[in-house]
């Protein structure tokens, strides 16, 4: 008579990770399969039903249910104390248990040195690349004599184990503000603006818009039309093109709806261009209130823009000197009036 199946419990964050693993194309089939087992068990399916769905025996499904039940307390503790390690801990839970046999051919020290190389700038090794690939990393490890021989796939295995992705890079922007207290106030102001955007629109009809520019967009025209896909032949895209100069896009993202509204296309990005852009945007709802979130580019706080806003909001208020406009706006909250 079959025994009682182990009860499966998962948290919301664990469920997200398991669903990602079950759909991932980069994970091994075993990890994805076992993630589906846990998800289906949590949904209340019997072992027999899960076994038919994932293509395993009922006993194997029961084994992974018990494995998850035994590891759940530790996973939950890790989720609360070290949430960044949760994904790898779940992957480790779904892996095969260590087996007896021939010991690994790479020592912990060698693996550590391989990972250290992956964290270096390739230029330090004299390589004309900006990002490590697994093949380049393999060649460098052998060149330094860290190991006598190693495959590219083994390098990839070590990188995945350590959750390192040296082939990827994200853009990062460092603040130019030297006063940490002022910077914190500015960050809070922007975050609160985004947070309250929906309520402001619903209750007071205020439009909250995030505005920025993309310059130097090339206007390219291919010299021949694309060729459609055919049997045994993929679609073809003409390589040669005619360049018709560049253009600049000034865009507005409606924070609440996510819609791009009143974009401006033109050859330049000058003070006059930006003032005209704001005027065109506000003209969509002249009687409404507007909040524009912009960066510190000079045209975003130019004299022309300040004068236009002043004429619209407080025509009788003196503006003072041009060089002191920004300083006054920072020290006087009443000067920051939505258009």
Could you tell me whether strands 206-222 and 289-293 are parallel, antiparallel, or unpaired per DSSP bridges? parallel
Q: Which residue has the tokens 């909001």?
A: 313
255 and 142 within one domain: no
For residue 80, give both structure tokens. 């609360």
Whether residues 149 and 209 share a domain: the answer is no
pLDDT at 27: 85
152 lies in the same domain as 70: no
* Cα torsion through 192, 193, 197, 201, rounded to 10: 120
Tokens representing residue 196 in the block = 């309250």
158 and 17: one domain? no
Residues 308 and 279 both lie in one domain: yes
Asked, for residue 271, whether it belongs to a domain, the answer is yes
Instruction: Tell me, yes or no, whether 243 lies in a domain.
Output: no
Residue 304 CB partners (closer than 8 Å, separation 6+): 271, 272, 275
Reference 114, options 132, 133, 137, 91; nearest CA is 137
Q: What is the sign, positive or negative, of the torsion defined by CA atoms of 278, 281, 284, 285?
A: negative
Give strand pairing partners of 220. Answer: 243
For residue 227, the cross-strand partners are 236
Same domain, 191 and 306: yes
Choose one of 107, 136, 170: the last residue of a domain. Answer: 170
- pLDDT for 134 equals 94
CA distances from 19 to 24, 34, 177 (A): 9, 11, 41
Predicted pLDDT of residue 325: 46
| 25 DSSP assignment | S
Q: Is 20 helix (H, G, I), strand (E, B) or coil?
A: helix
Instruction: DSSP letter for 103, please.
Output: P
Question: In the sheet where 289-293 sits, what is the strand order?
Answer: 264-266, 241-254, 206-222, 289-293
Report yes or no on 301 lying in a domain: yes
pLDDT of res. 219:
86
The answer to whether residues 161 and 197 belong to one domain is: no
Q: Residue 326: which CATH number?
A: 3.30.420
Same domain membership, residue 205 and residue 146: no
Q: How many domains does the chain have?
A: 3
Specify whether 18 is located in the same domain as 151: no
Q: What DSSP character marks residue 260? A: B
| 83 and 136 inside one domain | no
Q: What is the mean pLDDT of each run of 10 residues along the chain (339 residues)?
A: 78 94 88 94 93 91 94 92 90 83 81 96 93 95 94 93 90 86 92 95 95 92 93 91 92 94 93 95 94 92 91 81 52 38
Q: Domain check: are 309 and 203 in the same one?
A: yes
What per-residue confidence (pLDDT) applies to 176?
83
Q: Does some domain include residue 235?
A: no
Say how far apart CA 7 and CA 18 lie, in whole Å: 17
- Domain residues for the domain of 159 are 127-170
pLDDT score, position 102: 61
Domain match, 188 and 315 both? yes
Of 151, 170, 189, the last residue of a domain is 170
Q: What is the pLDDT of residue 114?
A: 96
Parallel, antiparallel, or unpaired for β 241-254 and 206-222? antiparallel
Q: How far apart are CA 271 and CA 304, in angstroms?
A: 7
């Amino acid at each position: 008579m079959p025994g009682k199946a182990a009860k499966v419990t998962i948290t919301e964050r664990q469920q997200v990770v398991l669903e990602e693993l079950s759909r991932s194309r980069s994970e091994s089939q075993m990890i994805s399969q076992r993630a589906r087992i846990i998800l289906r068990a949590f949904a209340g399916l019997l072992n027999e039903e899960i076994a038919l769905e994932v293509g395993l025996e009922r006993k194997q499904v029961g084994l992974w249910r018990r494995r998850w039940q035994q590891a759940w307390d530790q996973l939950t503790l890790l989720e609360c104390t070290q949430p960044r390690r949760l994904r790898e801990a779940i992957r480790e839970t779904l892996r095969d248990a260590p087996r007896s046999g021939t010991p690994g051919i790479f020592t912990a020290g060698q693996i550590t040195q391989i990972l250290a190389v992956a964290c270096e700038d390739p230029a330090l090794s004299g390589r004309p690349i900006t990002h490590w690939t697994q093949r380049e990393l393999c060649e460098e490890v052998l060149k330094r004599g860290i190991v006598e021989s190693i495959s590219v796939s083994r390098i990839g295995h070590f990188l995945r184990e350590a959750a390192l992705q040296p082939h990827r890079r994200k853009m990062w922007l460092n603040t130019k503000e030297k006063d940490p207290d002022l910077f914190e106030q500015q960050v809070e102001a922007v975050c609160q603006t985004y947070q309250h955007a929906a309520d402001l629109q619903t209750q007071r009809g205020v439009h909250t818009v995030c505005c920025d520019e993309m310059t130097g967009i090339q206007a390219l025209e291919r010299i021949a039309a694309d060729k459609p896909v055919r049997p045994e032949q993929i679609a073809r895209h003409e390589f040669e093109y005619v360049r018709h100069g560049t253009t600049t896009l000034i865009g507005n993202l409606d924070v609440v709806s996510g819609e791009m509204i009143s974009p401006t296309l033109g050859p330049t990005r000058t003070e006059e261009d930006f003032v005209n852009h704001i005027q065109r945007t506000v003209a969509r709802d002249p009687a409404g209130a507007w909040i524009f979130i912009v960066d510190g580019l000079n045209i975003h706080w130019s004299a022309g823009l300040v004068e236009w806003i002043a004429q619209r909001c407080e025509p009788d208020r003196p503006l003072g000197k041009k060089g002191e406009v920004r300083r006054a706006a920072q020290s006087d909250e009443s000067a920051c009036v939505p258009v």
